[in-house]
Amino acid sequence: MFSSLRLAAFAFTSLLFSSSALGLTIPTKRAQLCNGHSELCERKYGNTTFLGSHDSFAFSGNPFALARTQEVDIEAQLTLGVRLLQAQSHMNGKDLHFCHTTCGLFDGGKVEDYLTKVKHFLDRHPNDVLTLIFTNPESVSVSKVWKPIFDKTGFTDMAYVPPQPVMSREDWPTLGEMIESGKRVVIFLDHGADSRTEPDVEFILPQFQMVHLTSFHPSFQILINVLFLSFFLDWQVWEDKYDPTNNKFPSHAPTASRRSPPTPPHCAQYVEDRKPNFVLLDYVNVGQGMAAVDRLNGFSY
């Protein structure tokens, strides 16, 4: 529908060069809403907070499914506002599955089937930016296994490729630019994507070149220049604000539990002077996770 504008834009070679340098195509029309808010269209990806789902595939309504981390399925999670999906992969026979620790403990099915469902949601929500963070503990081949799955499910053409391996918060494009370019999915993989020597798989970003794990509980992770808070509600979590000047949390740490899910004030206290990019939750349907994220993004109701 924007073909005429796109053709006109190609006449401006200087703009074409500038857009290519950012890894984006020329914008054709500014999205009116980006991730549900017009204000976010001008907000850089590195300065936006997204609601995340930990082990998003591991959903079950059965309270006796002890390895579950979510109560509602992928469609429901995305409908609730989740825009970061995290998952752990394992080979199950000849197919790559998402499984919790082992496929015998909780098998979430084929990665291809999972991504097909996510792509269907994205097709129906063209003004949304999504992040995928997947673990690859068995170091399954990125080029031979992961890429063909992303190709088949339609994610390769949607994936954003940064122009440099380490991005500051200000280096990322705005959500509006990502949406307009069609490159509105950011894909991280923890193992196997480190070299970035194969152009065909550059869209699969190496997590640990962009992620620093603190020396504290693994539920807190710090993306380089991007703060990543996690609330695993069945574990203890630190409730004190991270100090980026010395890479430390205060020594005293109250706890949160499944009985005290995150609320907007609960999350806001962590990042009074620095807003996180991701708030990663178990049981995303419990508590006020999306309200907390909205507050961190500067929206109040």
One-letter identity of residue 210: M
At 18 the pLDDT is 37
Rounded Cα distance between 41 and 282, Å, is 28
Q: What is the pLDDT along the chain (301 residues), one digit of tens a residue?
A: 433 333 333 333 333 333 444 555 544 455 689 999 999 999 999 899 999 999 999 898 888 888 888 999 999 999 999 999 999 999 999 999 999 999 999 999 999 999 999 999 999 999 999 999 999 999 999 999 999 999 999 999 999 999 987 787 889 999 999 999 999 999 999 888 887 677 889 999 988 776 544 333 433 333 433 444 544 433 333 333 333 333 333 333 323 333 344 444 554 444 445 677 888 888 999 988 999 999 999 998 6
Return the SS3 of 231: strand
Instruction: Tell me the domain boundaries of the chain.
Output: 41-296
Q: Quote the pLDDT of residue 241.
A: 38
Reported pTM: 0.75
- Residue 179, pLDDT score: 98
The partner residues of 242 in beta bridges, in order of sequence, read: none
How remote is the C-alpha of 46 from its chain's centroid?
12
- 251: number of Cβ within 10 Å: 6
Tokens found for residue 28: 């054709």
Percent helix / strand / coil, the chain, rounded to 5: 30, 20, 50
pLDDT of 67 = 87
Strands 185-189 and 130-135: parallel
Backbone torsion region of residue 141, taken as left when φ is above 0, otherwise alpha when ψ lies between -120 and 50, otherwise beta: beta
**In this predicted structure, what is the pLDDT of residue 113?**
98
CATH of the domain spanning 41-296: 3.20.20
Is there a contact between 57 and 109 (Cβ–Cβ < 8 Å)? Answer: yes
Rounded CA gap, 118 and 262, in Å? 25
**Contact at 8 Å (CB) between 125 and 178?**
no
The residues with which 51 forms a beta bridge, in sequence order, are: 82, 279
